[in-house]
Every structure is written in structure tokens, then in C-alpha cells.
Amino acid sequence: MTTLICNADLHVNSTVGLCPPGVELDDGGTYRPSQAQRWLWRNWLELWERVGSIEGRKVGVVCGDVGELDTKRRSVQLISANKATIIKMVTSALEPMLAVVDQLIIIRGTPAHTGKGSWLEESVAEDLDNVIRDASSASHYHARITIDGVRLDIAHHAPMGRQPWARNTGANTLASKTLWYYRVGMHKPPPHLVIRAHNHQAARGYAEDGGDCVEVRYLPAWTLATEFVFRSGYENVLADVGGLIVHINEGAYACEPVMYPYKTSEGQLWQTI
């Protein structure tokens, strides 16, 4: 049996992203994570403690945007601009995962977050011994892999409708398009499971035709609301926090979402003046 543990959009180095405790800066100072970041970190550790108890081979997936460089300079929400510090921070954040997985797949994310050519993800992947490499690089723009007879199509970007009641529409559309691309465009068997990220919200979709069925899963994130969220008119939109565990055995698979909902009481939500 093989277990695939999928996570995405860690945005390490963002002041609202995943952050290991006590980041040492190159000038001798120390960055202390916020209360929200400490909450993210506790859940991150809980996830990998849970994964550590699972028997069999374990393959981790980091599905893009492992770190935050803010190459467009859209905000001041960065812990450091030093590339060496950022790489050390990302590596430290990945340590709980590296301690329990046997192999690792790193997907390249958005250049605005991880640099041109997603150099941050490639640099981190190149420094690890247990990564499943692409043909010419350590990280992947698009990974097509088969595990125990289950075909997986994994990449970072995917469209999602902005209306909350139509969250799964984009996933359903992607499932239908993927089925068409493989069967009609490439004349190849389609994937059983498509994994995407980028939207910071979980969703799922299905398409079935001619005996083939494609399931799409959008991954949650490990970051909270950024300045971009507030000035784009999505101030009431909450990111989903968590990951996706996929249990694969003898040609069959089962998805187990792992979600960490916000715990906001009415007293914390509303300010009385």
C-alpha cells in the first residue's frame, strides 16, 4: 500500500504563511511567528504526526508555492528578502514532512510567489535526496505518475469560480476537459485522479464517459489572508487550511481530506465600540 500526502500553498516567508518557530535572520535578529502562524504550525505538526502512524510507503507532494518571494512587490508581508534565509526557512518548514515520507514530489508554483522558473522550488528540490525527479529537473511543472495502478495528474494551477456556492464548478469542468484531452487529444488513458492547488480552497469534481472516470481534487492551503485578499474584495473569504491524504492499494484509491477549520467565536469576530 502507498499513501500520497498532498499539500500546497505553504507560502513560507510570508508573514501570514506557514512558518517554523524562531526564524533567525542574517543580521542576527529573530522573527517570531504571529499567533495565527503558530496555529498553522501546530496543525502542520499534527498532520505529519498522523501520517507517521500510517503503515506502508509514504510519498509527500508539495503542489506549488512552497515559499513566498512576492516578486511583484504587492505588499510588505515578507519575513526576509535574503534568498539564503528563505531557502533555510523553507527547508526547516519541510522537516516534519521529510521525517516521515519515503519519497517526495515537488511541483512548481506561480512565478509571482516562487520566482521566474519557480527557482525557489527547484533549488529546494535539488538539495533533497529523496525527490522523484522530472526528466531534466528536480521539480515538476506537471507530474504524470502511476502508483500501484492508479494514474495521477498533478500540477499547481487550476481555475475556480469566485462564487462560494459554485466552488466545485471549476473542478467539474477541469475533470471533463482532462477526460477529453487524454481520450480525444492524446488517445491515451486518462488519469484516475487529478490534483491541483493555487486557489487556497478545497473542491472536487468528476467526469465519466465510455467507462473512464476522472476525479479532480483541489487542495487547501497553509496560509491565511494576505493584503492582496483584502484589496481584491475578498475580505470575507476564508482560505481552507489542511491537506489531502490519498490511500492507494492494488489499483484502487480513497481520498481522505484533512481540514483544520478556524475557531472564531462571536466575541473575536465582532468588535464592540
Q: How far apart are CA 215 and CA 200, in angstroms?
A: 19
For residue 167, the model assigns a pLDDT of 85
Angle (CA) 104 80 89, round 5°? 25
For residue 89, the model assigns a pLDDT of 96
For residue 264, the model assigns a pLDDT of 58
2-6, 76-80, 193-197, 261-265: which has the minimum mean pLDDT? 261-265
Q: What average pLDDT does this structure show over 50-63?
A: 97
Distance of CA 220 to the CA centre of its chain: 7
Pairing of strands 142-147, 150-155: antiparallel
Q: Which of 67, 193, 234 is nearest to 139 (CA)?
A: 67
Q: What average pLDDT does this structure show over 248-252?
A: 96
Contacts of 114 (CB under 8 A, 6+ apart): 64, 65, 66, 67, 68, 69, 108, 120, 121
Q: What average pLDDT does this structure show over 4-15?
A: 97
Average pLDDT, whole number, for the chain? 93
For residue 147, the model assigns a pLDDT of 97
Q: What average pLDDT does this structure show over 187-192?
A: 97
For residue 27, the model assigns a pLDDT of 86
Measured in residues, the chain has a length of: 273
Phi, psi of 232 (to 5 degrees): -105, 5
CATH T-level fold of 2-263: Purple Acid Phosphatase; chain A, domain 2 (3.60.21)
For residue 191, the model assigns a pLDDT of 98
pLDDT classification of 266: cutoffs 50, 70, 90? very low
Show the 3-state SS of 115-157: CHHHHHHHHHHHCCCCECCCCCCCCECEEEEEECCEEEEEECC
Domain boundaries, the chain: 2-263
Q: What is the pTM of this model?
A: 0.94
Q: What average pLDDT does this structure show over 68-90?
A: 90
